Amino acid sequence: MEINHIYPQIFLQAVDQKTLGNSVIIDVREPHEWEYYHMEEAKLIPMGQIPLRMGELPEDEDIYIVCAHGMRSMRVAEYLKENGFERVINVDGGMAAIGMFRGFQYD
């Protein structure tokens, strides 16, 4: 199964230029990770809650998935694809890469 992905610098450029349209950004980290550092544009849905909260996700918009380093988000993206969500995009490198591009030392 092919999972779409986006490089963090391209993703951040789109966020900053507000060219993501009606898409959503889902952060699948845990609350304590979110409290440490997160994107204001994102919505927190921890990985373990995804199966219970899929009804909160749009089926007709792009869904960008982000985690700490890109591993959990890839697994969530695969899970969503398997469950009928076509427009799922994994953000490579996760919040560690995003932090680096924004001048924040994540790790």
**Active-site residue list:** 67
Distances (CA, A) of 27 to 35, 46, 99: 12, 7, 14
Work out the number of other CB atoms within 10 angstroms of the CB of residue 94.
Answer: 25
DSSP class of residue 90 equals E
